[in-house]
Amino acid sequence: MKKLPNYVLAGALACICFSCNNSSPSDSAQAAKDSNARKMDSTGTGDSTTGRSIPTTVSKADQNFAVNAADAGMTEIQAGQLAEQKGMDKEVKMYGKMMVKDHTEAADKLKTIAAAKNITLPSSISADMQKNLDDLQAKKSGKDFDKAYMNMMVGDHKKVISAFEDESKNGSDADLRAFADSTLHTLHHHLDEAQKCQKMISKM
């Protein structure tokens, strides 16, 4: 496998289930969605804390996309850190390092957009994503960790690409739509590299 290029992610990526129904009510992601719903005030009074409502250009679907993208990004960072620490193969470690760098930069871009739109983003990852990370950390080591991590990256990137493609085509807010569109190239790159690494590890 060739050395991974130092791509910088132009938006939040990678990897993760984007279902709106998987988070429990106590999740930070669900709490963010609930907060955004309260800001969608037809009377124009907006959120009692900020005094601002979410712009009408931002649909509920757009809000959920932003929340889920933030959840995904935080998960990718933590999973990447695990790969750097626990990965046995150097390519797995390199992939994890790329995920941490790309998603950290992407998170800043998403936060800027969200702040401008008064969209609340989660402060921590959802319960389901945390469970996946806990299992990866506690139950996997050595080659088993490498395989589990890369399998996770392949599966999650396929899901996230679908979500970003949908937003880039159907998003109602121009900034979030452009954000999703500009991210897709790097998401595909991440998936390609994950599949290469997955294939390499399966032969070991």
- Distance between CA atoms of 142 and 87, rounded to whole angstroms? 7
pLDDT at 48: 46
pLDDT at 50: 53
Tens place of pLDDT per residue across the chain (204 aa): 444 444 433 333 444 344 443 444 358 889 999 999 898 864 444 444 555 789 988 999 999 999 999 999 899 999 999 999 999 999 999 999 999 999 888 889 899 999 999 999 999 999 988 999 999 999 999 999 999 999 999 998 899 899 999 999 999 999 999 999 998 988 899 999 999 999 998 877
DSSP helix, strand, coil percent of the chain (3-state; round to 5): 70, 0, 30
- The residue with tokens 């800001």 is 39
3-state secondary structure of 72: helix
3-state secondary structure of 178: helix
**Torsion angle of alpha carbons 160, 191, 99, 203, nearest 10°?**
130
pLDDT at 1: 47
pLDDT at 23: 40
> Residue 6: phi, psi to the nearest 5?
-90, 65
pLDDT at 138: 93
Question: Which distant-in-sequence residues (6+ apart) come within 8 Å of 134 by Cβ?
Answer: none
Task: List the CATH code of the domain at 28-202.
Answer: 1.20.1260.10
pLDDT at 26: 52
Question: Which distant-in-sequence residues (6+ apart) come within 8 Å of 186 by Cβ?
Answer: 7, 8, 9, 10, 11, 13, 102
- Distance between CA atoms of 21 and 27, rounded to whole angstroms? 11
CA nearest 94: which of 182, 200, 202?
200
